[in-house]
């Protein structure tokens, strides 16, 4: 299976690490005292075989096609076990009884960019989903084989965190809650996992980092996510019900630095009777004079005719990791997202690691985060 959209206040603890009971709640620890290291969270960023061109919907689709062909060649060569033509993100938490197996948010219907009539509505479509490790519906064995092949060939970048038992408990509880509430059944680029809406592959990995408070969201979103203002004329739901369900990722930051947030809970209108064919001229740009106002009262400025949309991108995550790895290799350490990283190599794969065992897990309720993905989740 190939995902269709895989396209989702910290500093190192200066205090001396003191052994404490790892079952204690974080707030019970004395000020300045760190819980001991207990586990490792690893985010595996799998870039697409060919770098995707996001300059327009048509260029994106063309490079996806080229990437699919290149991915098939990589599989034939044994460099990877799964092509992942638009990239993918897996994660794994090694922490004893609090471990999370190698997994990731994926889709199960195999449609893989085959919709030809919905234009940029393809980015908003809710498709049947699963977590990679799930027996019967996931890609468990293929995923294990794929990560093994990519580590041998260097076709993956690893982003790792040394964490405490308290952090492990927070991360595992999030994934367990996401699973128990069936959020994994919804694979959708517009959905935010910590709100139990569902997710795409990359925001699922970024969302695990976010719910732990391991990195500040206001720092990693601009580096790891694509943000577009999609004109209304580019979105269709041909032969559908004329709308796409609201999702927490209907947010964007434009080139001028302005933040746009679609009204919370409001579905996106999309014509059901008129197709927007792939490679048609209207998809040569994300917006233009063809766009008409959405039939929603109260929309102002650019958002009257354009939908804000942000999607975390495995390609950007991998490129970021490789830049940090190169700097840390050259200088012994690298500062990124306001925290220090060290470099390592696992077989042929590059890994950057942040020793975050002194970071106390975020206590904010998963769904109570700030609406704006470009602000910290616990910002007022």
CA-CA distance, 112 to 134, in Å (whole number)? 20
Q: How many Å apart are CA 207 and CA 197, to the nearest integer?
A: 12
CA dist., res. 34 & res. 26, Å (int): 9
Helix (H) or strand (E) holding 268: strand 268-269
Interatomic CA distance for residues 330 and 332, integer angstroms:
6
CA distance 1 to 86: 12
Question: How far is the C-alpha of 141 from the C-alpha of 331, rounded, in Å?
Answer: 38
Residues 6+ apart with CB under 8 A from 145: 81
Give, in order, the Cα–Cα distances in Å from 230 to each of 45, 304, 317: 26, 11, 23
- Pairing state between β 349-355 and 157-164: parallel
First and final C-alpha spacing in the chain: 39
Per-position pLDDT tens, the chain of length 380: 434 344 332 233 333 333 334 344 444 567 778 999 999 999 999 999 999 999 999 999 999 999 999 999 999 999 999 999 999 999 999 999 999 999 999 998 754 444 689 999 999 999 999 999 999 998 999 999 999 999 999 999 999 999 999 999 999 999 999 999 999 999 999 999 999 999 999 999 999 999 999 999 999 999 999 999 999 999 999 989 999 999 999 999 988 899 999 999 999 999 998 999 999 999 999 999 999 999 999 999 999 999 999 999 999 999 999 999 999 999 999 999 999 999 999 999 999 999 999 999 999 999 999 999 999 999 99
Question: What is 40-87 written as a DSSP string?
Answer: EEEEEEE--SS----SSHHHHHHHHHHHHHHHHHHHHHTS-SS--TT-
Q: In sequence order, what DSSP letters do the residues of 97-110 get, joined into one string?
A: GG-EEEE-EEESS-
Cα–Cα distance measured from residue 36 to residue 312, given in angstroms and rounded to the nearest whole number: 31
- 63 φ/ψ angles, rounded to the nearest 5 degrees: -75, -25
pTM of the model: 0.91
Beta bridge partners of 44: 90, 158
């Amino acid at each position: 299976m190939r995902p269709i959209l895989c396209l989702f206040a910290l500093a190192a603890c200066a205090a001396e690490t003191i052994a404490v009971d790892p079952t204690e709640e974080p707030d019970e620890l004395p000020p300045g005292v760190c819980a001991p290291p207990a586990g490792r969270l690893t985010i595996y960023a799998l870039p697409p075989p060919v770098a995707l061109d996001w300059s327009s919907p048509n260029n994106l689709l063309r490079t996806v096609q080229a990437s699919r062909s290149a991915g098939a060649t990589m599989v034939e060569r044994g460099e990877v076990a799964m092509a992942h033509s638009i990239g993918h993100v897996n994660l794994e938490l090694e922490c004893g009884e609090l471990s999370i197996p190698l997994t990731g948010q994926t889709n199960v219907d195999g449609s893989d960019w085959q919709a030809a009539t919905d234009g940029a509505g393809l980015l908003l479509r809710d498709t049947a989903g699963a977590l990679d490790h799930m027996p019967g519906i996931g890609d468990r064995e293929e995923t294990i084989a794929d990560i093994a092949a990519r580590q041998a060939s260097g076709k993956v970048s690893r982003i790792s965190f040394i964490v405490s038992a308290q952090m492990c408990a927070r991360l595992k509880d999030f994934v367990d809650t996401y699973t128990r509430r069936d959020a994994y059944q919804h694979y959708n680029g517009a959905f935010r996992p910590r709100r139990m809406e569902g997710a795409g592959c990359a925001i699922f990995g970024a969302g695990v980092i976010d719910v732990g408070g391991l990195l500040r969201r206001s720092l990693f979103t601009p580096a790891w996510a694509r943000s577009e203002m999609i004109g209304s004329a580019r979105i269709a739901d041909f032969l559908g019900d004329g709308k796409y369900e609201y999702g927490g990722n209907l947010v964007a930051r434009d080139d001028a630095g302005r933040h746009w947030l679609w009204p919370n809970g409001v579905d996106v209108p999309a014509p059901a009777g008129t197709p927007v064919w792939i490679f048609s001229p209207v998809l040569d740009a994300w917006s233009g004079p063809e766009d008409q106002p959405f039939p929603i009262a109260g929309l102002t400025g650019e958002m009257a005719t354009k939908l804000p949309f942000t999607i975390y991108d495995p390609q950007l995550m991998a490129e970021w990791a490789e830049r940090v790895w190169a700097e840390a290799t050259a200088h012994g350490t690298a500062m990124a997202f306001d925290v220090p990283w060290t470099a390592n190599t696992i077989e042929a794969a590059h890994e950057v690691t942040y020793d975050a065992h002194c970071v106390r897990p975020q206590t904010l309720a998963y769904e109570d985060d700030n609406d704006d993905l470009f602000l910290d989740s616990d910002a007022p």
